[in-house]
Chains A and B, each alone.
Chain A
Amino acid sequence: MRFEVAPAPHARALVGVPLVMRRVLYALVPAALCYIWFFGYGLLINFAVATAAALLTEATVLRLRGRGTRHALRDGSAFVTAALLAFALPPLVPAWIPALGSVVAIMLAKQLYGGLGKNLFNPAMVGYVFLLVSFPVEMTQWIPPRMGDIDYQHLSAVANLNYAFTGRLPAALDIDTLTRATPLDLVKEGLRSARTFDELRAGSLFGDFGGRGWEWVANLIAVGGLYLLYTGTIRWQIPVALLAGLLVPATGFYLVDASRYAAPGFHLFSGASMLAAFFIATDPVSAAATNRGRLIYGAGIGLLTYMIRTWGGYPDGVAFAVLLMNGAVPLIDRYTRPRIFGQS
Chain B
Amino acid sequence: MVDYVFERHLSGGIHIPANKDTSTAQPIRRGFIPAKLVLPLRQHRGSPAEAIVQVGDRVLRGELIARAGPPPSAAVHASTSGWVRAIEDRLVLAGDGVQPSQCIVIETDGRDEREPPPAPWPAERAAQLERIRSAGLVGLGGAVFPTAEKLATPVPCKTLIVNGAECEPYISCDDMLMRERAADVVAGALLLTDLLAAPLCIIAIERDKQRAEEAIEEAAKAVNDPRLKLAEVPTIYPAGGERQLVELLTGDEVPGGHYPSEIGYVCQNVGTAFALLKLVRDGEPLLSRIVTVTGAGIREPQNVEALLGTPIAELVELCGGYNEGVLRLIAGGSMMGCALPDDEVPIGKASNCIIAATEAEVRIDPTEWPCIRCGDCAVVCPPRLLPQELLVAAHTADFQALNLFGLQDCIECGCCDVACPSHISLTERFRQAKRSLAMHDRQLKLADESEQRFERRERRIEEQRGRSASLIDRLKGEATDPDAREAAIRAAVERATQRRDRSADPE
With A6-B362, A338-B386, A342-B258 already in contact, 12 other A-B pairs whose C-beta atoms are closer than 8 Å: A2-B342, A3-B329, A3-B339, A8-B339, A10-B362, A11-B334, A13-B421, A16-B369, A17-B421, A20-B421, A284-B374, A342-B255
Binds A, one of B59-67, B425-433, B443-451, B485-493: B425-433
Q: Are A342 and B372 in contact (CB under 8 A)?
A: no
* A29 within 8 Å of B (CB atoms): no
- Within 8 Å by CB of B337, from A8, A16, A289, lies A8
Q: Does B340 contact A (CB under 8 A)?
A: yes
Given A8-B427, A9-B417, A10-B339, CB of A285 within 8 Å of CB of B373:
yes
Complex partner residue of B371 from A71, A75, A117, CB under 8 angstroms: A117
Given contacts A8-B427, A9-B336, A285-B373, contact A290 B378 (CB under 8 A): yes
Residue with the highest number of chain B CB atoms closer than 10 Å, among A9, A16, A290: A9
Report how far A8 CA is from B425 CA in the complex, Å. Answer: 9
- Of A9, A117, A289, the residue contacting B427 (CB under 8 A) is A9
- In the assembled complex, how far is the CB of residue B353 from the closest CB belonging to chain A, in whole angstroms? 12
- In the complex with contacts A1-B313, A338-B384, A339-B384, A115-B370 CB distance below 8 A: yes
Residues from chain A with a CB closer than 8 A to the CB of B169 are: 11
CB contacts (< 8 Å) of A284 on chain B: these are: 372-375
Report the bound CA distance from A9 to B335 in whole Å: 4
Q: Is the CB of A7 within 8 A of B431?
A: yes
Q: Mark A306-344, 1 if CB is under 8 A from B, else 0.
A: 000000000000000000000000000000011111110
**Quick check: is A19 within 8 A (CB to CB) of the other chain?**
yes
The answer to whether A5 and B16 have CB atoms under 8 Å apart is no
Shortest beta-carbon distance from A66 to chain B in Å: 16
Assess whether B323 is interfacial by the CB under 8 Å rule.
no
Interface residues on B, range: 35 or more
Beta-carbon contact of B339 and A289 below 8 Å: no
Measured between C-beta atoms, what is the minimum distance from A69 to chain B in Å? 14
B residues sitting closer than 8 Å to A (CB atoms) are 11, 14, 16, 169, 243, 247, 253-256, 258, 313, 322, 326-330, 332, 334-343, 355, 357, 361-364, 367, 369-375, 378-379, 382-386, 388-389, 406, 409, 412-414, 417-423, 425, 427-428, 431
Q: How big is chain A's contact interface, by range? A: 35 or more
> Can you show 20 pairs from A to B with CB atoms below 8 A apart?
A6-B362, A9-B413, A9-B418, A11-B335, A11-B362, A13-B417, A13-B418, A13-B419, A14-B16, A16-B422, A16-B423, A20-B374, A115-B370, A116-B372, A117-B369, A285-B373, A287-B373, A289-B388, A337-B386, A342-B256
Question: Bound complex: CA of A115 vs CA of B334, how far in Å?
Answer: 33
Q: Which of B340, B343, B367, B389 contacts A5 (CB 8 A)?
A: B340
CB-CB under 8 A from A343, the residues of chain B are 255-256, 406, 409
| Chain B residues within an 8 Å CB radius of A339 | 384
Q: How many A-B residue pairs have CB under 8 A?
A: 166
User: How far apart sit A127 and B83, CA to CA, in the bound complex (Å)?
Assistant: 79
What's the least CB distance linking B5 to chain A, in Å?
Answer: 21
In whole angstroms, how far apart are the Cα atoms of A115 and B386 in the complex? 22
Whether a CB of chain B sits under 8 angstroms from the CB of A202 is no
B355 to chain A, nearest CB (A): 8
Note all chain A residues with C-beta closer than 8 A to B342.
Answer: 1-3
Bound together, the chains give a CA A284 to CA B420 distance in angstroms of 13
Residue A171, interface by CB 8 Å: no
Nearest-CB residue, chain A, relative to B414: A9
Q: Does A208 contact B (CB under 8 A)?
A: no
**Taking the complex as formed, is A291 at the interface, i.e. its CB lies under 8 A from any CB of chain B?**
yes
